[in-house]
């Protein structure tokens, strides 16, 4: 009698598991078939997994370290972790490209309408921007960050802001603030990266090393009620806030 009852239960567990996992039936439809509640179906599926009748296997594709990512998230209480495996002895350019592709995928998945995206220069950031697929977002702003500037490439921060904004159809906002270059080459690049030189001198703000004139104009803008404090790049070129 006990063996017969056990057999019937295991048979039921196998039937419910097959319908749910193999046939893709919903718990509600399974409940109607066996004339039991939906909560009972859920308990049967849990029992089937514990008994080893139903086994769920997750196989990560090559290059995806999902188990390690979940462990790192739990251990350090992080919202999300992405681990990108790199080839031993690979070139820095190839490593940056792989990291950029992974970062671009996460960026495309997480950026939403109305977001403000602040960026600062760098070769790795440039690799991500190059890998971002074209998309359309509403009300998104890409804002130039301020601070340390160091990039082994010739691409300037203004160029990176404009490139990303163009890819996602966002507004590019250039902040009239100084940056600190990490090299002589970067300093020269920043000094050469001026806003549209066709604008009158009193309407142009240069993102380069600190200059008293630029800082004075920023201070004047802050004292003016309702003054705009950024530079917008559009199809017609750059226009400084004034």
Looking at the structure, do residues 134 and 224 belong to the same domain, yes or no? yes
Query: Cα separation of 69 and 62, whole Å?
Result: 14
Task: Quote the domain boundaries for residue 14.
Answer: 2-50
My answer on whether 64 and 150 are in the same domain is no
Looking at the structure, do residues 133 and 13 belong to the same domain, yes or no? no
Q: How many CA atoms lie within 13 A of 207 on its CB side?
A: 29
Structure tokens at 176: 């009239």
pLDDT digits (tens, 9 = 90+) for 89-108: 878 888 888 999 999 999 99
Q: Do residues 201 and 161 share a domain?
A: yes
List the beta bridge partners of residue 180. Answer: 148
CA–CA gap between residue 19 and residue 34 (Å, rounded): 11
Please check whether residues 215 and 121 belong to one and the same domain: yes
Strands 171-174 and 141-144 come out as parallel
Mean pLDDT across 111-115:
93
Structure tokens at 178: 């100084």
Decide which of 231 and 62 is more confident.
Answer: 62
pLDDT over 70 for what percent of the chain? 68
Answer whether residue 225 shows pLDDT above 50: no
146 and 132 within one domain: yes
**Are 194 and 219 found together in one domain?**
yes
Q: Do 99 and 208 reside in the same domain of the chain?
A: yes
Dump pLDDT digits (tens) for 3-56.
Answer: 678 888 889 999 999 999 999 999 999 999 999 999 999 999 999 999 999 998
**Rounded to an integer, what distance in angstroms lies between the CA atom of residue 205 and that of residue 158?**
12
Structure confidence by residue, pLDDT tens digits, 172-208? 987 765 556 666 776 676 666 554 443 333 333 333 3
Report the number of distinct structural domains present in the chain: 3
**Based on the domain organization, do 106 and 62 belong to the same domain?**
no
Give the residue among 170, 171, 211 at the shortest CA–CA distance from 190.
211
Residue 117's pLDDT is what? 92
Structure tokens at 47: 């029992």
Write down the pLDDT at residue 104: 92
**Are 157 and 143 part of one and the same domain?**
yes
What is the predicted pLDDT for the residue at 118?
Answer: 87
Both 78 and 136 in one domain: the answer is no
* CATH number, residue 32: 1.10.10.10
Specify whether 83 is located in the same domain as 98: no
DSSP string covering 42-55, please?
Answer: HHHHHHHHHTTSS-
What tokens does 39 get?
Answer: 């909560």
CA distances from 160 to 30, 80, 119, 130, 236 (A): 54, 25, 8, 9, 18
pLDDT band, very low/low/confident/very high, at 131 (cuts 50, 70, 90)? very high
């Amino acid at each position: 009698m006990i063996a017969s009852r056990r057999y019937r239960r295991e048979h039921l567990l196998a039937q419910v598991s097959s319908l749910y996992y193999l046939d893709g039936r919903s718990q509600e439809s399974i409940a109607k078939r066996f004339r039991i509640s939906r909560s009972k179906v859920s308990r049967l599926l849990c029992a089937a997994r514990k008994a080893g009748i139903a086994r769920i296997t997750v196989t990560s594709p090559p290059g995806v370290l999902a188990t390690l990512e979940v462990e790192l998230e739990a251990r350090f209480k992080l919202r999300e972790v992405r681990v990108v495996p790199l080839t031993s002895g690979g070139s820095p350019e190839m490593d940056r490209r792989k990291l950029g592709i992974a970062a671009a995928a996460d960026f495309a998945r997480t950026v939403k309408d109305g977001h403000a995206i602040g960026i600062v220069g760098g070769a790795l950031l440039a690799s991500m921007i190059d890998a971002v697929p074209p998309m359309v977002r509403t009300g998104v702003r890409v804002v130039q960050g301020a601070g340390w500037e160091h990039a082994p490439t010739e691409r300037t921060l203004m160029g990176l802001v404009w490139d990303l904004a163009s890819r996602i159809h966002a507004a590019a906002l250039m902040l009239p603030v100084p940056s600190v270059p990490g090299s002589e080459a970067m300093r020269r690049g920043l000094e050469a990266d001026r806003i549209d030189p066709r604008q009158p001198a009193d309407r142009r703000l240069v993102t380069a090393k600190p200059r008293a004139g630029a800082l004075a104009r920023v201070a004047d803008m802050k004292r003016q009620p309702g003054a705009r404090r950024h530079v917008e790049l559009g199809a017609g070129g750059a226009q400084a806030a004034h």
